[in-house]
Every structure is written in structure tokens, then in C-alpha cells.
Structure 1
Amino acid sequence: MTYQAPKLNEQGTIDIDYYTKLASQERSEYIAQMAVSLKAKIKSFFHVKLPKLSISH
């Protein structure tokens, strides 16, 4: 892991707004991934195989 200097704003202090937006974006992406995963797990619980229909008598 390499060291990265923190992003600074015009006043020379750490840019809190930048890091807040970055964290919000990363959190949204993570929650979206978790929702897709949860949906797939729930769908797998209710997966039902239907019997094959026979066309012969």
C-alpha cells in the first residue's frame, strides 16, 4: 500500500466535503451490491422446479 497525501481544499485543510462525497458514493455502491446479493439469495430459496408436461397419453 502506498502513501497518498490527503486532498486539501483552498484553505489548505483536509477537504472534508470531498471525502464525505467519496464515502457516500462508496457506501451507495456497497449497498447496491448487497441488495443484488440478497435478492439472489432470497430468489434461490423460493426456486421451484415445475414438473415437465408430457404430451403423450
Structure 2
Amino acid sequence: MSYKAPKLNEHGTIDVDYYTQLAVQERNEHIAQMAASLKASIKSFFQVKLPKLSTSH
């Protein structure tokens, strides 16, 4: 793993706003992945096979 210098703002200090926005974006992506996984799990748990309908009556 290589070292990457922290992003600095115009004052020469660590850009906290940048890293806060980055963390929010990563958290939102993770929550979306977790929600999709949960939805798939619930959907597979309640999967119901319907009987075939006969058209020869």
C-alpha cells in the first residue's frame, strides 16, 4: 500500500470538508448495497411459485 498525502485546503490545512463529503458518499453507497442485498434476501425467502393456468376449459 502506498502513502498518499492528505488533501489540503487553500489555507494549507487538511481539507476536512472534502473528507466529510467523501465519507458521506461512501456511507451512502454502502447503505445502498446493504439495502439491495437485504431486498434480494427477503425476496428469495418469500418466493412463491404460482400454479400454471390451464386454457383448455
**Do both share a fold (TM > 0.5)?**
yes
Give the TM-score taking structure 2 as reference length: 0.88
Q: Distance in 1 between matches of 2:12 and 2:25?
A: 24
Deviation at 1:47, TM superposition (A): 0.1
User: Identity rate of aligned residues, in percent?
Assistant: 79
Alignment RMSD: 1.3
Count the aligned residue pairs: 57
Structure 1 unaligned residues grouped into runs of 5+:
none
Unaligned stretches of 5+ residues in structure 2: none
* Cα distance in 2 for residues equivalent to 1:26 and 1:11: 26
- Runs of 4+ in structure 1 off by over 2 angstroms are 51-57
